[in-house]
Structure 1
Amino acid sequence: MIQTTQTMIALLERIAIALETPAQPPAPEGFCGYGQKVYCNLTKGNGEGWYVLEDGNAFTQPPIFRGRVVGLRFPTVERRGKEVVKFHLFMRAGGETTTFEAGRDCFFSKTVLAALALASPEVLSRPLQLATYVKALRTGDRTLAVALRDSAGNKLSCDWTNDDDWQAIVGLALENVQVAMGGSS
Protein backbone atom coordinates (compact mmCIF):
# COMPACT_ATOMS: atom_id res chain seq x y z
CA MET A 1 0.00 0.00 0.00
CA ILE A 2 2.81 2.43 0.88
CA GLN A 3 4.59 1.69 -2.39
CA THR A 4 1.36 2.25 -4.35
CA THR A 5 0.84 5.59 -2.58
CA GLN A 6 4.42 6.64 -3.30
CA THR A 7 4.02 5.63 -6.95
CA MET A 8 0.79 7.63 -7.19
CA ILE A 9 2.41 10.68 -5.57
CA ALA A 10 5.34 10.50 -8.02
CA LEU A 11 2.92 10.18 -10.93
CA LEU A 12 0.85 13.14 -9.70
CA GLU A 13 4.02 15.23 -9.35
CA ARG A 14 4.95 14.44 -12.97
CA ILE A 15 1.43 15.34 -14.11
CA ALA A 16 1.57 18.64 -12.18
CA ILE A 17 4.91 19.53 -13.79
CA ALA A 18 3.54 18.69 -17.24
CA LEU A 19 0.47 20.84 -16.65
CA GLU A 20 2.56 23.78 -15.42
CA THR A 21 4.90 23.65 -18.42
CA PRO A 22 3.58 26.03 -21.10
CA ALA A 23 2.24 24.27 -24.15
CA GLN A 24 4.73 25.16 -26.84
CA PRO A 25 5.08 23.16 -30.02
CA PRO A 26 8.71 22.31 -30.68
CA ALA A 27 10.26 24.35 -33.45
CA PRO A 28 13.09 22.96 -35.52
CA GLU A 29 16.34 24.88 -35.44
CA GLY A 30 16.57 27.79 -37.82
CA PHE A 31 14.36 28.30 -40.83
CA CYS A 32 14.89 24.79 -42.19
CA GLY A 33 18.21 25.53 -43.87
CA TYR A 34 18.25 29.28 -44.50
CA GLY A 35 21.60 30.66 -43.37
CA GLN A 36 21.56 34.23 -44.58
CA LYS A 37 20.70 37.81 -43.72
CA VAL A 38 17.02 38.12 -42.81
CA TYR A 39 15.35 41.54 -42.84
CA CYS A 40 12.45 42.52 -40.60
CA ASN A 41 9.77 44.68 -42.21
CA LEU A 42 6.00 44.36 -42.07
CA THR A 43 5.29 45.45 -45.64
CA LYS A 44 8.14 43.72 -47.46
CA GLY A 45 7.67 40.60 -45.37
CA ASN A 46 4.17 40.17 -46.83
CA GLY A 47 2.57 40.31 -43.40
CA GLU A 48 4.91 37.72 -41.87
CA GLY A 49 7.63 40.27 -41.20
CA TRP A 50 10.80 38.42 -42.19
CA TYR A 51 12.18 38.26 -45.69
CA VAL A 52 15.42 37.71 -47.59
CA LEU A 53 16.63 39.49 -50.69
CA GLU A 54 17.73 37.59 -53.78
CA ASP A 55 18.59 39.68 -56.83
CA GLY A 56 16.64 42.59 -55.32
CA ASN A 57 13.46 40.52 -54.83
CA ALA A 58 11.97 39.92 -51.37
CA PHE A 59 11.11 36.34 -50.38
CA THR A 60 9.11 35.74 -47.21
CA GLN A 61 10.53 33.51 -44.46
CA PRO A 62 8.54 31.41 -41.97
CA PRO A 63 7.51 33.49 -38.92
CA ILE A 64 9.29 31.25 -36.36
CA PHE A 65 13.04 30.85 -35.87
CA ARG A 66 14.83 28.81 -33.21
CA GLY A 67 18.53 29.13 -32.41
CA ARG A 68 21.17 30.51 -30.08
CA VAL A 69 21.92 34.21 -29.80
CA VAL A 70 25.58 34.71 -30.71
CA GLY A 71 25.85 38.46 -31.06
CA LEU A 72 24.35 41.94 -31.31
CA ARG A 73 25.61 44.89 -33.34
CA PHE A 74 24.48 48.33 -34.43
CA PRO A 75 26.12 48.94 -37.81
CA THR A 76 25.73 52.12 -39.83
CA VAL A 77 24.61 51.19 -43.35
CA GLU A 78 23.46 53.06 -46.41
CA ARG A 79 19.77 52.73 -47.30
CA ARG A 80 18.16 54.77 -50.07
CA GLY A 81 21.19 57.05 -50.22
CA LYS A 82 21.20 57.80 -46.47
CA GLU A 83 23.34 56.57 -43.59
CA VAL A 84 21.17 54.80 -41.00
CA VAL A 85 21.89 52.77 -37.87
CA LYS A 86 20.46 49.26 -37.94
CA PHE A 87 20.05 46.58 -35.29
CA HIS A 88 21.65 43.22 -36.10
CA LEU A 89 20.75 40.15 -34.07
CA PHE A 90 22.97 37.15 -34.85
CA MET A 91 21.60 33.68 -34.12
CA ARG A 92 23.16 30.31 -34.82
CA ALA A 93 21.13 27.29 -35.89
CA GLY A 94 21.96 24.17 -37.84
CA GLY A 95 25.64 25.12 -37.99
CA GLU A 96 24.94 28.45 -39.72
CA THR A 97 24.60 32.01 -38.46
CA THR A 98 21.54 34.03 -39.48
CA THR A 99 21.56 37.82 -39.20
CA PHE A 100 18.26 39.56 -38.42
CA GLU A 101 18.29 43.20 -39.47
CA ALA A 102 15.78 45.79 -38.32
CA GLY A 103 15.73 49.50 -37.63
CA ARG A 104 17.56 50.43 -34.43
CA ASP A 105 14.52 52.13 -32.93
CA CYS A 106 11.73 49.91 -34.24
CA PHE A 107 9.31 47.90 -32.10
CA PHE A 108 10.98 44.59 -33.06
CA SER A 109 14.45 45.77 -32.02
CA LYS A 110 13.36 47.33 -28.75
CA THR A 111 11.34 44.25 -27.77
CA VAL A 112 14.31 41.95 -28.45
CA LEU A 113 16.76 44.23 -26.63
CA ALA A 114 14.51 44.64 -23.58
CA ALA A 115 14.02 40.86 -23.33
CA LEU A 116 17.76 40.15 -23.72
CA ALA A 117 18.57 42.75 -21.07
CA LEU A 118 16.14 41.13 -18.63
CA ALA A 119 17.01 37.47 -19.33
CA SER A 120 19.85 35.81 -17.48
CA PRO A 121 22.98 34.74 -19.36
CA GLU A 122 22.08 31.15 -18.41
CA VAL A 123 18.78 31.44 -20.30
CA LEU A 124 20.53 33.10 -23.25
CA SER A 125 23.11 30.30 -23.45
CA ARG A 126 20.36 27.95 -24.70
CA PRO A 127 18.30 28.12 -27.90
CA LEU A 128 15.60 30.80 -28.05
CA GLN A 129 12.55 30.92 -30.26
CA LEU A 130 11.55 34.11 -32.09
CA ALA A 131 8.06 34.34 -33.54
CA THR A 132 6.84 37.42 -35.38
CA TYR A 133 3.31 38.70 -35.41
CA VAL A 134 1.55 41.88 -36.47
CA LYS A 135 0.63 44.22 -33.61
CA ALA A 136 -1.97 46.96 -33.84
CA LEU A 137 -0.80 50.18 -32.19
CA ARG A 138 -2.99 52.70 -30.36
CA THR A 139 -2.47 55.07 -33.28
CA GLY A 140 -4.18 52.59 -35.61
CA ASP A 141 -0.90 51.74 -37.34
CA ARG A 142 0.42 48.19 -37.51
CA THR A 143 3.95 47.12 -36.66
CA LEU A 144 6.01 43.97 -36.67
CA ALA A 145 6.31 42.58 -33.17
CA VAL A 146 8.16 39.56 -31.84
CA ALA A 147 7.59 37.05 -29.08
CA LEU A 148 10.69 35.42 -27.57
CA ARG A 149 10.58 32.12 -25.72
CA ASP A 150 13.33 30.34 -23.84
CA SER A 151 14.31 26.70 -24.38
CA ALA A 152 11.56 25.57 -21.97
CA GLY A 153 8.89 27.52 -23.86
CA ASN A 154 8.55 30.33 -21.30
CA LYS A 155 7.87 33.75 -22.79
CA LEU A 156 10.68 36.28 -22.32
CA SER A 157 9.19 39.73 -22.16
CA CYS A 158 9.72 43.11 -20.63
CA ASP A 159 7.48 46.14 -20.79
CA TRP A 160 9.26 49.12 -22.27
CA THR A 161 8.60 52.66 -23.48
CA ASN A 162 10.42 54.87 -25.96
CA ASP A 163 11.46 57.06 -22.99
CA ASP A 164 13.38 54.26 -21.24
CA ASP A 165 17.17 54.49 -20.89
CA TRP A 166 18.02 52.64 -24.11
CA GLN A 167 21.75 53.11 -23.69
CA ALA A 168 21.57 51.17 -20.40
CA ILE A 169 19.21 48.54 -21.87
CA VAL A 170 21.51 47.99 -24.86
CA GLY A 171 24.54 47.77 -22.55
CA LEU A 172 22.89 45.14 -20.37
CA ALA A 173 21.67 43.14 -23.39
CA LEU A 174 25.19 43.16 -24.88
CA GLU A 175 26.69 42.09 -21.54
CA ASN A 176 24.17 39.26 -21.05
CA VAL A 177 24.81 37.91 -24.56
CA GLN A 178 28.59 38.13 -24.08
CA VAL A 179 28.43 36.25 -20.76
CA ALA A 180 26.06 33.66 -22.29
CA MET A 181 28.65 33.01 -24.99
CA GLY A 182 31.32 32.35 -22.39
CA GLY A 183 32.79 35.85 -22.17
CA SER A 184 33.30 37.78 -18.98
CA SER A 185 31.11 40.62 -17.77
Structure 2
Amino acid sequence: MTKQARSRRTHELVLDAAAAEFARHGYPRANLQHVADRTGLTKGALYGHFASKEELARALTGQLDEVLERLVAQNTVEELSARERLRALSCALAERIESDVRINAALRLEMDEVHSAPEPPRLLADLRRLATEVMESAQTDGTPGERPPTAPLADLATVILVGAYYTAPDLERRGLADRVRDLWDAHPACGQAVLGMTTR
Protein backbone atom coordinates (compact mmCIF):
# COMPACT_ATOMS: atom_id res chain seq x y z
CA MET A 1 0.00 0.00 0.00
CA THR A 2 1.39 3.40 -0.96
CA LYS A 3 1.85 6.20 1.54
CA GLN A 4 -0.97 8.14 -0.12
CA ALA A 5 -3.31 5.15 0.09
CA ARG A 6 -2.46 4.65 3.79
CA SER A 7 -3.11 8.31 4.46
CA ARG A 8 -6.46 8.13 2.71
CA ARG A 9 -7.41 4.99 4.63
CA THR A 10 -6.51 6.67 7.92
CA HIS A 11 -8.50 9.76 6.87
CA GLU A 12 -11.58 7.57 6.36
CA LEU A 13 -11.04 5.76 9.67
CA VAL A 14 -10.88 9.11 11.46
CA LEU A 15 -14.15 10.21 9.84
CA ASP A 16 -15.86 6.99 10.93
CA ALA A 17 -14.51 7.30 14.48
CA ALA A 18 -15.53 10.96 14.69
CA ALA A 19 -18.98 10.10 13.36
CA ALA A 20 -19.47 7.51 16.09
CA GLU A 21 -18.37 10.03 18.72
CA PHE A 22 -20.59 12.85 17.40
CA ALA A 23 -23.61 10.55 16.96
CA ARG A 24 -23.31 9.42 20.58
CA HIS A 25 -22.39 12.67 22.32
CA GLY A 26 -23.25 15.54 20.00
CA TYR A 27 -20.83 18.35 19.18
CA PRO A 28 -20.37 19.97 22.63
CA ARG A 29 -19.52 16.73 24.46
CA ALA A 30 -17.56 15.00 21.69
CA ASN A 31 -13.97 14.30 22.72
CA LEU A 32 -11.17 14.18 20.15
CA GLN A 33 -9.09 11.97 22.43
CA HIS A 34 -11.84 9.37 22.15
CA VAL A 35 -11.69 9.72 18.37
CA ALA A 36 -7.92 9.22 18.44
CA ASP A 37 -8.31 6.18 20.71
CA ARG A 38 -10.81 4.60 18.32
CA THR A 39 -8.32 4.84 15.45
CA GLY A 40 -5.16 3.98 17.36
CA LEU A 41 -3.68 7.38 16.52
CA THR A 42 -2.10 9.87 18.85
CA LYS A 43 -4.01 13.11 19.19
CA GLY A 44 -1.17 14.85 17.35
CA ALA A 45 -1.47 12.41 14.43
CA LEU A 46 -5.22 13.01 14.40
CA TYR A 47 -4.62 16.73 14.01
CA GLY A 48 -2.50 15.90 10.98
CA HIS A 49 -5.70 14.87 9.23
CA PHE A 50 -8.17 17.35 10.75
CA ALA A 51 -7.02 20.53 12.42
CA SER A 52 -9.97 20.79 14.81
CA LYS A 53 -13.23 19.32 16.01
CA GLU A 54 -15.03 21.94 13.94
CA GLU A 55 -13.23 20.80 10.78
CA LEU A 56 -14.26 17.21 11.44
CA ALA A 57 -17.86 18.27 11.95
CA ARG A 58 -17.83 20.26 8.69
CA ALA A 59 -16.52 17.26 6.78
CA LEU A 60 -19.43 15.15 8.03
CA THR A 61 -22.16 17.72 7.42
CA GLY A 62 -20.77 18.26 3.94
CA GLN A 63 -21.38 14.57 3.23
CA LEU A 64 -24.99 14.95 4.36
CA ASP A 65 -25.45 17.80 1.88
CA GLU A 66 -24.17 15.58 -0.92
CA VAL A 67 -26.46 12.70 0.09
CA LEU A 68 -29.50 15.00 0.11
CA GLU A 69 -28.77 16.28 -3.37
CA ARG A 70 -28.23 12.75 -4.73
CA LEU A 71 -31.45 11.45 -3.18
CA VAL A 72 -33.45 14.28 -4.69
CA ALA A 73 -31.93 13.55 -8.10
CA GLN A 74 -32.88 9.88 -7.74
CA ASN A 75 -36.49 10.66 -6.81
CA THR A 76 -37.54 12.05 -10.16
CA VAL A 77 -40.12 9.46 -11.25
CA GLU A 78 -42.59 11.63 -13.10
CA GLU A 79 -45.50 9.22 -12.61
CA LEU A 80 -45.42 9.71 -8.85
CA SER A 81 -47.48 12.36 -7.12
CA ALA A 82 -45.81 15.06 -5.03
CA ARG A 83 -46.77 13.26 -1.82
CA GLU A 84 -45.35 9.96 -3.11
CA ARG A 85 -42.10 11.66 -4.09
CA LEU A 86 -41.75 13.26 -0.68
CA ARG A 87 -42.46 9.93 1.00
CA ALA A 88 -39.80 8.25 -1.14
CA LEU A 89 -37.28 11.01 -0.38
CA SER A 90 -37.97 10.89 3.37
CA CYS A 91 -37.72 7.10 3.51
CA ALA A 92 -34.52 7.01 1.44
CA LEU A 93 -32.87 9.59 3.69
CA ALA A 94 -34.02 7.73 6.81
CA GLU A 95 -32.46 4.53 5.44
CA ARG A 96 -29.14 6.32 4.93
CA ILE A 97 -29.25 7.80 8.43
CA GLU A 98 -29.94 4.38 9.93
CA SER A 99 -27.28 2.53 7.93
CA ASP A 100 -24.49 5.12 7.74
CA VAL A 101 -22.99 6.42 10.98
CA ARG A 102 -21.55 9.43 9.16
CA ILE A 103 -24.97 10.58 8.00
CA ASN A 104 -26.45 9.86 11.43
CA ALA A 105 -23.74 11.99 13.02
CA ALA A 106 -24.17 14.75 10.46
CA LEU A 107 -27.87 15.02 11.22
CA ARG A 108 -27.13 15.06 14.96
CA LEU A 109 -24.59 17.84 14.41
CA GLU A 110 -27.03 19.88 12.37
CA MET A 111 -29.84 19.42 14.86
CA ASP A 112 -27.59 20.37 17.78
CA GLU A 113 -27.53 23.86 16.25
CA VAL A 114 -31.24 24.24 17.00
CA HIS A 115 -30.40 24.87 20.64
CA SER A 116 -27.53 27.30 20.11
CA ALA A 117 -28.08 29.16 16.85
CA PRO A 118 -30.43 32.16 16.49
CA GLU A 119 -31.80 30.68 13.24
CA PRO A 120 -32.85 27.13 12.30
CA PRO A 121 -29.92 24.98 11.14
CA ARG A 122 -29.16 24.93 7.44
CA LEU A 123 -30.27 21.31 7.22
CA LEU A 124 -33.89 22.19 7.95
CA ALA A 125 -33.82 24.92 5.33
CA ASP A 126 -32.19 22.52 2.85
CA LEU A 127 -34.70 19.76 3.57
CA ARG A 128 -37.55 22.18 3.06
CA ARG A 129 -36.01 23.56 -0.12
CA LEU A 130 -35.41 20.10 -1.55
CA ALA A 131 -38.89 18.96 -0.58
CA THR A 132 -40.28 22.04 -2.31
CA GLU A 133 -38.28 21.24 -5.44
CA VAL A 134 -39.68 17.69 -5.42
CA MET A 135 -43.17 19.13 -5.05
CA GLU A 136 -42.75 21.59 -7.88
CA SER A 137 -41.33 19.00 -10.25
CA ALA A 138 -44.06 16.42 -9.55
CA GLN A 139 -47.24 16.11 -11.50
CA THR A 140 -50.02 18.42 -10.37
CA ASP A 141 -52.21 16.82 -7.75
CA GLY A 142 -55.91 17.54 -7.42
CA THR A 143 -58.16 18.92 -10.09
CA PRO A 144 -56.78 19.97 -13.50
CA GLY A 145 -55.28 23.41 -13.39
CA GLU A 146 -55.09 23.39 -9.59
CA ARG A 147 -51.60 23.44 -8.13
CA PRO A 148 -51.34 22.37 -4.49
CA PRO A 149 -49.43 24.70 -2.17
CA THR A 150 -45.90 23.41 -1.73
CA ALA A 151 -45.07 24.76 1.74
CA PRO A 152 -47.35 22.51 3.84
CA LEU A 153 -46.16 19.25 2.30
CA ALA A 154 -42.54 20.39 2.41
CA ASP A 155 -43.01 21.14 6.12
CA LEU A 156 -44.72 17.79 6.62
CA ALA A 157 -41.79 15.88 5.12
CA THR A 158 -39.35 17.73 7.38
CA VAL A 159 -41.42 17.22 10.53
CA ILE A 160 -41.89 13.49 9.91
CA LEU A 161 -38.17 12.87 9.37
CA VAL A 162 -36.90 15.02 12.25
CA GLY A 163 -39.63 13.81 14.62
CA ALA A 164 -38.85 10.17 13.88
CA TYR A 165 -35.14 10.85 14.34
CA TYR A 166 -35.59 12.45 17.75
CA THR A 167 -37.98 9.80 19.03
CA ALA A 168 -35.87 6.84 17.82
CA PRO A 169 -35.25 4.39 20.68
CA ASP A 170 -31.44 4.42 20.50
CA LEU A 171 -28.49 6.42 19.23
CA GLU A 172 -28.01 4.08 16.28
CA ARG A 173 -31.52 5.07 15.15
CA ARG A 174 -32.41 1.42 14.57
CA GLY A 175 -35.77 1.12 12.86
CA LEU A 176 -35.75 4.77 11.74
CA ALA A 177 -36.65 3.99 8.13
CA ASP A 178 -39.57 1.81 9.24
CA ARG A 179 -40.76 4.53 11.60
CA VAL A 180 -40.69 7.13 8.82
CA ARG A 181 -42.59 4.79 6.48
CA ASP A 182 -45.15 4.09 9.21
CA LEU A 183 -45.69 7.80 9.84
CA TRP A 184 -46.27 8.47 6.15
CA ASP A 185 -48.58 5.47 5.83
CA ALA A 186 -50.47 5.74 9.13
CA HIS A 187 -52.83 8.27 7.60
CA PRO A 188 -52.67 8.05 3.80
CA ALA A 189 -54.59 11.29 3.46
CA CYS A 190 -52.28 13.28 5.74
CA GLY A 191 -50.94 15.31 2.86
CA GLN A 192 -54.44 16.09 1.64
CA ALA A 193 -55.46 17.06 5.16
CA VAL A 194 -52.61 19.53 5.37
CA LEU A 195 -53.50 20.91 1.96
CA GLY A 196 -57.13 21.23 3.00
CA MET A 197 -56.15 23.32 6.01
CA THR A 198 -54.44 25.82 3.72
CA THR A 199 -57.40 26.29 1.43
CA ARG A 200 -60.12 26.91 4.01
What is the TM-score normalised by the length of structure 1? 0.26
Higher relative contact order (CA 8 A, sep 6+): 2
What is the TM-score normalised by the length of structure 2? 0.25
More helix by share: 2
